[in-house]
Amino acid sequence: MVEQVFASLPEGLADAPPGAALGALLEQVDPRAVSPHDTVTLAAAWRRQLSHHEARFAQAAREVALANPGRPGGRCEGFGEFSTDELRVLLCESRTRVSKLLGQADTAIAAIPELWAAWDAGLIDTDRVRICVTWTSSLSADHARQVAVTVLPEAPHLTLSGLIERIKALATGLDPEWAATLYDKARRQRRVRARRTESGTLNLSGLDLPLDAGALSVAHVESLVFRAKAAGHPGLIDTIRADMYLALLSPRPQGWDDDALVAHVVAHADPNDPRGRTTPRHVGADGPGPGGGTSRSDRGPVDPVPDEPAPHEPMPEESGDARTPSRGARRGRIEMRIGLLTLLGFDEKPGTMPGYGIVHAPFARQFARQLCHAEWRVAVTDDDGHLLAALVTRRRPAGYATTPPGQGHAARPVLELHISKTELMRRLREPDAWAPVLEDLRAQLAAWAGPPSTPDEARRRFPSAALARWTRMRDGTCVFPPCGASSLVADIDHTLAVIHGGLTLEHNLDPVCRHDHRLKHEGGWQLQQPTPGRFTWTSPTGHTYDRPRRPVTPDIPDPAPSRFRSSTSPMEYATDEPVWVNDPYPTGRPPGRPPPGPGHDPADDPPPF
């Protein structure tokens, strides 16, 4: 075998700050000539340099907009009506595009200078700067700056959607009343819009719908879709979902229930539609991975059996073995995480609905009343927010409805509450309605003996429901560093595979989404768990990426007064106009029945009356 020779990276390139010196080093390197390991280092250096250049471009563009030869120093103090026009010509862009560029630059440079400094230093890229500016734009100036400065150290390690969610959590924590008002005003503008596409099809959308009703509707649709798939519908999930959506909205014979609706959609499946996969692709299956050609022996230790049940096996909370639920049950599952003290009314900290985002406290309290039939999990934490006990309570506050709503075959929702051990045992002035719940939790906590583990359980292939619950609550999300998929919908994986001696214990279990589970078994990545809840991933190129242990309780600031008012104006307003966005009847009424004539007056009836 011929040994390959790769070009070396210039000394100091890996750690060089962006600027002229790094630019000179980068220009010396042909990316095609370096080793696989060094391509990663090179890409990281180019990204730092690119962010630096884009920050300097934004600064220069702002100076163009402020330039005025007739003013002292050749600059205006602010933008005027015609400030964008030279940039429009120079960049060949619209006024809207130039205005967005200048708005982002001005906010970062003048209003939040810490943001521009991080951008210029290559610590944060342009997309994340845009999100920091856009998602704080409705906040007061001091709150916007506080949120941006707080999130800056975290931003490079968050995906764009994760950054948006973190910004919303911080903003809602600082000003809960603003968040509640903004939601309520937008909800009042709920509407339906239809738009013809370029291909002649139709997009039909509900906008600004109430989150609780919308989430329950999504769960209902998903449960029907996967019932149709299980009943033999040959199509892709997306096309079945569209057919079910139309069937639910279309007039139907009186007395039709969900069973009839599913049967109708299956019976009317279009044979010309793309076919869905009939059997799931199992993790660790034989054959080459995405790169092709690599044998299993070259990929290191694997856990060849997927941590997923057969389709007939029950959900984790219904069985002794916590095997991962089927994709159908996972996709439509409702989950809300919120502080127990928030439900009790002691604070206004926001919660989260994985897949939907941050929810303000009044909404969480109201929605919790609709989730009495859910599984109520309670994460008891230490004072740093890390998990001490994973409890489940069947008690409900007095006055909460206990009759499950008609959810059909939808997966059982999960309401995950969190509270520190100190707060739980403090016995605050608790609402009487919550006394049975709190006493049950205190009794369970007193009997808690740590994560479930016995010698027999350690040798079992699948964790018990209690151990799987502990693992999911401890980690919160898929443990691949940038992934934000909820642990509730993830596979339970053995860090060290059972086939290689791995035991079914808390320090050897991790939740991973299906893609990242396959990444480990088929993509050549390796995973270690040095301590429970802390993970280290090693890529095929040899680079390591840490996923530190995360607290269960999010770090949310207390409400803080602002010198200015934040905006609560809706982005769009409901109207009495037609449903169409691009009205197909722009010149008058749609074809059909003529408009009605004058109203009928009974006095005009001929005799006899």
Q: DSSP for 394-455, please give it.
A: ----TTS--SPP--TTPPPPEEEEEEEHHHHHH--S--GGGHHHHHHHHHHHHH--SS---H
Instruction: Give the contacts of 309 (CB within 8 A, at least 6 positions apart).
Output: 321, 323, 324, 325, 326
- DSSP-derived secondary structure letter, 571: S
Contact 158, 190 (CB under 8 A): no
Q: What is the pLDDT of residue 431?
A: 85
What residue spans define the domains of the chain?
13-157, 192-267, 327-447
Angle at 350 between CA 348 and CA 351, to 5 degrees: 130
Q: How far apart are CA 174 and CA 176, in angstroms?
A: 6
Spell out, as residue ranges, where the chain has pLDDT lower than 50: 279-330, 588-609
Q: How far apart are CA 317 and CA 216, in angstroms?
A: 20
Q: How far apart are CA 318 and CA 323, in angstroms?
A: 11
Per the listing, tokens 């013809």 go with 196
Q: What is the pLDDT of residue 304?
A: 33
Q: How far apart are CA 305 and CA 297, in angstroms?
A: 16
Q: What is the pLDDT of residue 579?
A: 83
Burial of 517 (0-12, 13-18, 19+ CB in 10 A): buried
Q: Tell how strand 414-420 and strand 375-381 pair up.
A: parallel
Query: What are the backbone dihedrals phi and psi of residue 544, each rounded to the nearest 5 degrees, phi first?
Result: -110, 145
Q: How far apart are CA 591 and CA 585, in angstroms?
A: 8
pTM of the model: 0.83
Q: What is the pLDDT of residue 572?
A: 83
Contact 47, 125 (CB under 8 A): yes
Contact 136, 167 (CB under 8 A): yes
Q: How far apart are CA 568 and CA 94, in angstroms?
A: 28
Q: What is the pLDDT of residue 585?
A: 56
